[in-house]
Amino acid sequence: MNTKQVQLIEDFLMNQDESDRAFYRPIIDVLTRLGYTPKRTASAIFGLDFRHPALNQTIAKFYPHDFRLKYFASPDYSEQFHTSVKNVIEEFHGKYTGCYGCGRCGDDLMGYTYVYKDGRKVFRCGRELNTIPNASIEDLDEIMRLIHVQHEFFQRVQ
């Protein structure tokens, strides 16, 4: 990382409360070690977008009290992460579901499938980040595992 990127991280963390700093700091450390670089998000709210330049992939975005992550490569994650997929499907009334037809996946669709209790399945494109509701320091182990699984997937499909 260059000095501008280090300063960007410090500016972001400085504007967070202590619990959010404790939550974001270890995630930032892992992401930067894996080669993801921070960029200020293109929004009015100061956030960070973590993209890997060699893999051309974004894996996470941070805003104050709003953590977004890609984790579709993992076949196993907790109910909180399943709920994240469901929340987006329902919040936008199914608008951001299905395959967008971009052709990047080829024959094997890459994304999330949410299965409702009635058996109905809804696919959400893996190019999208999911907001993890109420993500906290207690979720760090799972978040770290999901980041590593997703990163390894990006490396394989590059």
117-155 pLDDT, tens digit per residue, is 999 999 888 888 999 989 999 999 999 999 999 999 999
Q: Helix, strand, or coil here: 47?
A: coil
Domain that holds residue 43: 3-157
Helix (H) or strand (E) holding 122: strand 121-125
Count of domains in the chain? 1
What is the C-alpha separation between 109 and 123, in angstroms, rounded? 9
Angle at which helix 3-14 crosses helix 18-33, to 10 degrees, equals 160
| Whole-structure pTM value | 0.92
DSSP 8-state symbol, 15: T
Range scoring the smallest mean pLDDT among 23-27, 89-93, 132-136, 154-158: 89-93
Q: Helix, strand, or coil here: 115?
A: strand
